[in-house]
Amino acid sequence: MANSNTAFGLRPVGIVGSGVNSTGVTEYEIASDNTNAIYQYGICVPLAAGVIAYAGATDGGTTQALGVLMGVQYQDSVQKKPVWINYWPGSGSVSVDTNFPVKAFVADNPTQIFKVASDASLTDRATAQAAVFANASLGTSARTGSSDTGVSNSALGVSTIATTATLPLRIVGIADEEANRDFTAAGIPMLVRLNAHFNATTSRFDSQTTATSTGI
């Protein structure tokens, strides 16, 4: 039976080890003239201007991931009041009072564990288990999402699973969900962490590439 999961981005579910998971977020800013959508549960990257953008917004380079967007708050120039929304739809879709910052709330703990759906069949459970401790990519799905729900369409690229050190995700497990156990179909919930994290004190994986053509 097909899995109930569809692509939903990277949802925070815990942290590495036995430490307390506060599920806390950090406030950053989005440029008020940023025309690109940044979806909830999508990976964000820091830009030189001191603001964040979606993974793949930079044209090449070695931009490390900052975390996953959880929500946005901005001051509406028409309604004259603050608006809270689960994603940034792009400056062309909202009326922003530029006298106020566009606030982005990001799950940016370097030890955060995320749940992400596989984008294709993993064949069987043994094959999926063998992918644990390997790395993977989201590819171009890193920058897409739904304007209806505001949720990212990011999914783990099964074809990218490898030991390649510059891949952005480390697979650390498989979530056990009764409705998502068909390993012959897409939608297996994999547990991952971000390899190249901007807030990590040290990082082996400091050369991953983000680009408009490849995502992350």
How many CA atoms lie less than 13 Å away from 72 in the CB half-sphere? 31
Q: What is the DSSP secondary-structure string of 130-168?
A: HTTT-EE--GGGGG-B-TTT-BB---B-GGG-B--TTSS
- What residue spans define the domains of the chain? 11-15+110-194, 26-107
Query: What distance in Å separates the CA atoms of residue 183 and residue 91, rounded to the nearest whole number?
Result: 40
> What type of residue is 43?
I
Q: Is the pLDDT of residue 206 over 70?
A: no
Contacts of 137 by beta carbon, 8 Å cutoff, 6+ apart: 157, 160, 167, 168, 169, 215, 216
Residue 139 CA to its chain's centroid (Å): 11
Question: What per-residue confidence (pLDDT) applies to 56?
Answer: 72
Contacts of 192 by beta carbon, 8 Å cutoff, 6+ apart: 10, 113, 114, 115, 116, 136, 156, 169, 170, 171, 172
Model confidence pLDDT, tens digit, residues 10-39: 999 999 887 777 778 999 999 999 999 999
Question: What per-residue confidence (pLDDT) applies to 40?
Answer: 97
Confidence label for 207 from pLDDT (cuts 50, 70 and 90): very low
% of residues, the chain, pLDDT over 70 = 89
Count of beta carbons in the 10 Å neighbourhood of residue 8:
21
Q: Is the pLDDT of residue 59 over 60?
A: no
Model confidence pLDDT, tens digit, residues 97-137: 999 999 999 999 999 999 999 999 999 999 999 999 999 98
Query: What distance in Å separates the CA atoms of residue 205 and residue 198, rounded to the nearest whole number?
Result: 10
pTM flag (> 0.85): yes
- Residue 61's φ and ψ, nearest 5 degrees, are 100, -170
Q: Which residues make beta-bridge pairs with 52?
A: 46
Tell me the average pLDDT of the chain: 88
